[in-house]
């Protein structure tokens, strides 16, 4: 690619929004083809910015990537710390990845790359939550929160990749969430919770019987 094709319209000066545009383009690109494949050239092109401008905001390619991952971790932690009943929580968790596919993908790419397995803050938050859950009186004894956490994150992440490719409209996606949530809830309800103490969830599952 030539350094600049043509269209020598100078960008209106606005550092903050320029920075945000660069970050957004980088995030999208990293999610699409992986952090490794993110290129300053393409980021700048997508953001409608000169490549040199990107280097003004982020000293190196790696610094830009790190900035993206930082913002990502913050957002993720925020999502994981929102409190609500188990059932809704699952729905929100799934919906989040369906509505923000790039977050699921970024998380996956990060797990593939990072030495310890997950954006550490977010992960600790999640495991801690599950530890509380496992020790409550309405769940079965002998649950391994760390392993359960792996299941409850890994399965939705993997599933969300499929949702991205196989759904076209919002209705599709809502149905996909319901379908997957139902299986997850069944497993949780009978595998880790004490169903007799969660009658509303039992009836929710019985009610949605016809779903397919």
Partner DNA sequence: TCCTAAATCAACAACACTGTTGACTAGAAT
Partner DNA sequence: ATTCTAGTCAACAGTGTTGTTGATTTAGGA
Among 148, 173, 198, 201, binds a second copy (CB under 8 A): 148
Cα 112 from Cα 129, distance rounded (Å): 24
Q: Among residue numbers 3 through 42, which ones bind a second copy (CB under 8 A)?
A: 33-34, 36-37
Task: Give the tokens for residue 33.
Answer: 């083809």
Contact flag: residue 151 with a second copy (CB under 8 A): yes
100 binds, among DNA, a second copy, none (CB under 5 to 8 A by kind): none
Residue 153 C-beta: closest distance to a second copy, Å: 7
Tokens for 114?
Answer: 């990072």
CB of 108 to DNA, least distance (A): 21
Residue 165 binds which entry of DNA, a second copy, none, with Cβ cut-offs from 5 to 8 Å by kind?
Answer: a second copy
Q: Which of residues 68-127 bind a second copy (CB under 8 A)?
A: 105, 108-109, 111-118
Contacts with a second copy, residue ranges (CB under 8 A): 33-34, 36-37, 105, 108-109, 111-118, 140, 142-144, 147-148, 150-151, 153-159, 161-162, 165-166, 179-180, 182-184, 186-192, 209, 212
């Amino acid at each position: 690619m030539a350094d600049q094709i043509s269209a020598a319209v100078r960008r209106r000066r606005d550092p903050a929004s320029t920075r945000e545009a660069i970050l957004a383009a980088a995030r999208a690109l990293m999610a699409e083809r992986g952090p490794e494949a993110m290129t300053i050239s393409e980021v700048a092109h997508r953001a409608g910015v000169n490549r040199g401008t990107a280097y003004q905001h982020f000293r190196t390619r790696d610094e830009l990537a790190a900035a993206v991952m930082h913002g990502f971790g913050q957002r993720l932690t925020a999502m994981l710390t929102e409190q609500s009943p188990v059932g809704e929580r699952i729905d929100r968790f799934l919906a989040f990845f369906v509505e923000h596919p790039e977050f699921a993908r970024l998380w996956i790419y990060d797990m593939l790359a990072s030495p310890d397995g997950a954006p550490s803050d977010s992960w600790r938050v999640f495991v801690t939550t599950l530890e509380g859950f496992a020790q409550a009186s309405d769940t079965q004894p002998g649950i391994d929160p760390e392993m359960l956490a792996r299941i409850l994150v890994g399965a939705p992440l993997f599933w969300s990749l499929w949702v991205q490719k196989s759904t076209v409209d919002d209705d599709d996606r809502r149905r996909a969430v319901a379908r997957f949530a139902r299986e997850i809830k069944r497993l949780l309800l009978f595998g880790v919770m004490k169903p007799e103490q969660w009658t509303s969830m039992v009836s929710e599952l019985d009610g949605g019987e016809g779903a397919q």
